[in-house]
Amino acid sequence: MDTPSDTHNLFFDSVSAYFDRAADLMSFPAGLLDQVKSCNSVYRMKFPVKDDDGNIVVIEAYRVQHSHHRLPCKGGIRFSPHVTQTETVALAALMTYKCALVGVPFGGAKGSVRFDPKTCSPEFRERVTRRYTAELIKKNFIGPQIDVPAPDYGTGEQEMSWIADTYRAMKFNEPDTYACVTGKPLALHGIPGRREATGLGVQLGIGECLAHEDDMTALGLTTGLPGKRVIVQGLGNVGSYSAHFLQKNGALIVGIAELGGGIYDPAGIDLRRAAHHFKENGSFAGCGIGAFFENPRDVLEQPCDILVPAALENQITAENASRIQAKIIAEAANGPVDHEAEEILRDRGILVIPDLYLNAGGVTVSYFEWLRNLSHVGFDRMSTRLSELTKTHLIEAVEHLTGRTLDPAERASVTAGPREVDFVHTALAETMAVAYHSIHDAWKTKDLPDLRTAAYYVAIDRVCRSYQAHGIFP
């Protein structure tokens, strides 16, 4: 059985292989491509934290800044007993390319802390988070203009609150302290729409892919999401919101895989019922929905149109790639398909929508939160009332011309101004649409082998041009 280190080495090798495959097709100087690929900074630290019994526990942690071509750096913080430096470097590299691909002006970064947040008390988790933040501050590895973390596997709004509070306490003279981290709760200057951003971005990205008739015809599919059979792996933040938005837009969820097993029903799954059972019992065993599989990876091999791996890396490898029955694999997680498996999938005619693009919704909305914190004003405050007044005047003019008067409910519906979450969701939809078109255009016009190569091609091109614009390379 592979160890976490073996798995992370494979993940790093996959990211490197994907980069090399795209870079070999480009005409930039070798030195420039080497710089884009290289990791700029790695901060490895160990620090003591008291456990609940008063004993000292030494915690190992990392913060990796892969690229300084744009500042601040941006990337989530992962809490897990299995994190390694190699995994963190690979994830930071992905963030560099991801930000470039969707036009977010950040360099890539990633953080990780080696402990299990599920088996410790909230008090211990808080002490670890605050001490980790203090270590980052000491080495200038966090700040609104330096490096801005966000949630990742094992972390969420609570941890981001502790980070923001610790930073604010130690940097009390700075005016933009809340912009040091994103993914915060609304009560602490977060932004509406951040919580569901990655999952919504997954649905939007899949929708963009499904809109191309020629590509769908080649796969034996119709365009559009309605009626598509979907299997989702993972019911964390990304997986649960992905499943929710896919189902809301007409997809049929036929399988769900999680730790401890999974379920499959070709007639469709009641998502709320399944999620409630899993939350209450920690397993799908005994839920009475479809067929139960003790090995969650067996669910990934069941018939479907779209497979959405939304858990961890290296879930589809050379060992199981030949048994995947999906026509599209939509990478909601980072690195769920390794480079050996992708060769097999491509040969079998399975289309992979790459993580580099598909899960960029989180960092996109994090960018909006960062801008909001720097400007100290919500996106709706300056425009919502004006929009309502403009619509009201227009409706009054139409009523005067037609002689028809809207009832109060109709008027309220038609004249309502956009809320901040509306700005966030529409801007995210525009970002995902523009990014997919750039990938698809590169795929077709440059005769690239697949969407992933096209995504790396576009991202590397943009980072290289940024370095050239600085005058560092010819």
Catalytic residue IDs? 110
End-to-end alpha carbon distance in the chain: 47
What are the Cα distances from residue 103, in Å, to 150, 357, 446, 468? 18, 11, 21, 17
Distance, in Å, from the CA atom of 384 to the CA atom of 9, rounded to the nearest integer, reads 50
Instruction: Round to whole Å and give the CA distance between 402 and 241.
Output: 44
- Residue-by-residue DSSP string for 189-224: T--TTSTTHHHHHHHHHHHHHHT-HHHHHHHT--SS
Sign of CA dihedral 344, 345, 346, 347: positive
Which residue from 21, 19, 25 is spatially nearest to 39, judged by alpha carbons?
19
In terms of C-beta distances under 8 Å and separation of at least 24 residues, what long-range contacts does 377-386 make, across chains too? 378/420, 379/420, 379/423, 379/424, 380/417, 380/418, 380/419, 380/420, 380/422, 380/423, 383/417, 383/418, 384/417, 384/418, 384/419, 385/417, 386/417
CA distance 372 to 367: 9
How far is Cα 449 from Cα 446, in angstroms, rounded to an integer?
Answer: 9
User: Both tokens of residue 416?
Assistant: 């309502």
**Phi, psi (5° rounding) for residue 376?**
60, 30
Angle between helices 361-375 and 85-101 (to 10 degrees): 80
CA geometry: angle at 200 spanning 164 and 156, to 5°? 25
Calpha distance 195→63 (Å, rounded): 23
Hey, what are 46's tokens? 């160990």
